[in-house]
């Protein structure tokens, strides 16, 4: 596969942002219209959760919790990017300039080719996965309703997401109105989440590939008699600032992801074990989506850690002992700073990495075990 241009790597994300009404620092009217259309569904689902709370509805309500969390997380991601859109645009411009420099060097292109192609394919895969998830939920009613009519000879107006509305949906027209609103909100939630996740993955990848290129530059200082040392140090400082800006923008979404990830996994896993067969496809795909999303968030956090910490290894192996004392002192300072790796954080959770993902799974299993021990199936 050819080395993608910066525009190609960002194309899908830019298209989705344009659909949402976000065009750089400019916000179009349709953004507020989409937001106003979507936001009520959170309260409709919360209203159903509160008013229908009972042991008989336990599994249904438990299956609704991941949907509410998904909507809340999606809205949070969009709001964070909306409020920090100037910083995001500036960050994109800075990584674009660095990417153009890399694309002019054949050797550097080979160093980063795999990472760029991987994130480009990943963003497409995640969008397809999320669209598949919401489509299964959205169109389940069109399968369940005819099946129920054929088997019982009665019409049941089934909605893809349990919601509380101020009128009855046990008639064709009100059901149709609520159904169209529900599936529209489902697709909006997916575009919200997939677009912001793609932006996060792409920006993290661009920060990482610059650390990878810098790693190679430090290793080859010995062949250039350390004449590029000052340039390497300036680049290192610049990349550190990029990673810190990235962390500041996405700290809140990462915090919410880590905070509620265990609840989503626990609720979906439990619903799979005790839920109705008609809901199984949605539960399985939803669980897969949550796991993939949490894993990717943790993996990209790990990438920042490993790529930034690799600089200290390169500095140590650049034959610094063969140069003069002044250069050795400078390299020692770089070595000391590079031993403190850059990281993505989430407020109370200090580092986003693979170990944070295993912690989420551990917590989810603990919650699942508690639910299994206290749950009593309705008679």
**pLDDT tens by residue, 133-149:** 888 888 888 888 898 88
Q: What pLDDT is attached to residue 56?
A: 66
Whether pTM > 0.75 for this model: the answer is yes
Please report, for the chain, the start and end positions of each structural domain, with discontinuous segments joined by +: 6-374
**pLDDT tens by residue, 194-252:** 899 999 999 999 999 999 999 988 888 876 677 788 888 999 999 999 999 999 999 98
Q: In sequence order, what are the residues at sequence separation of 6 or more whose Cβ sits closer than 8 angstroms to the Cβ of residue 107? A: 216
Q: What pLDDT is attached to residue 337?
A: 87
Burial class (CB in 10 A: 0-12, 13-18, 19+), 116: buried
Tokens of 297: 């968030």
Tokens of 254: 């990462």
Spatial separation of the C-alpha atoms in residues 217 and 215, rounded to whole Å:
5
**Residue 204: Cβ within 10 Å count:** 25
Tokens of 174: 């009100």
């Amino acid at each position: 596969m050819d080395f993608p241009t910066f525009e190609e790597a960002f194309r899908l994300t830019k298209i989705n942002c344009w659909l949402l009404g976000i065009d750089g620092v400019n916000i179009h009217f349709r953004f507020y219209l989409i937001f106003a259309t979507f936001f009520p569904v959170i309260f409709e689902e919360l209203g159903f959760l509160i008013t229908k709370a009972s042991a008989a509805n336990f599994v249904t309500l438990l299956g609704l919790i991941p949907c509410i969390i998904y909507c809340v997380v999606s809205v949070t991601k969009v709001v964070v990017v909306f409020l920090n859109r100037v910083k995001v645009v500036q960050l994109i411009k800075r990584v674009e300039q660095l990417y153009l420099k890399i694309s002019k060097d054949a050797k550097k292109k080979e160093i980063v080719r795999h990472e760029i192609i991987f994130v480009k394919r990943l963003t497409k895969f995640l969008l397809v996965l999320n669209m598949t998830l919401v489509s299964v939920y959205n169109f389940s009613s069109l399968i369940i309703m005819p099946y129920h009519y054929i088997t019982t000879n009665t019409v049941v107006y089934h909605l893809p997401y349990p919601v509380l509305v101020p009128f009855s949906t046990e008639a064709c027209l009100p059901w149709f109105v609520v159904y169209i609103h529900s599936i529209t909100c489902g697709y909006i939630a997916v575009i919200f989440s997939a677009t912001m996740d793609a932006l996060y993955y792409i920006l993290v990848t661009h920060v990482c590939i610059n650390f990878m290129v810098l790693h190679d530059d430090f290793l080859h200082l010995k062949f250039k008699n350390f004449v590029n040392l000052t340039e390497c140090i300036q680049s290192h400082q610049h990349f550190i600032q990029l990673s810190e800006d990235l962390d500041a923008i996405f700290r809140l979404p990462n915090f919410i992801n880590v905070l509620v990830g265990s609840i989503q996994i626990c609720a979906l896993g439990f619903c799979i074990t005790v839920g109705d067969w008609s809901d199984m496809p949605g539960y399985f795909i939803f669980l897969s989506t949550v796991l993939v999303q949490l894993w990717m968030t943790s993996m990209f956090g790990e990438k920042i850690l490993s790529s930034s910490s690799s600089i200290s290894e390169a500095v140590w192996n650049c034959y610094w002992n063969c140069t003069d004392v002044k250069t050795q002192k400078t390299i020692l300072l770089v070595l000391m700073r590079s031993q403190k790796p850059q990281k993505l954080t989430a407020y109370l959770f200090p580092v986003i990495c693979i170990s944070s993902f295993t912690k989420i799974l551990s917590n989810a299993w603990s919650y699942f075990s508690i639910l299994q021990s206290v749950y009593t199936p309705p008679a």
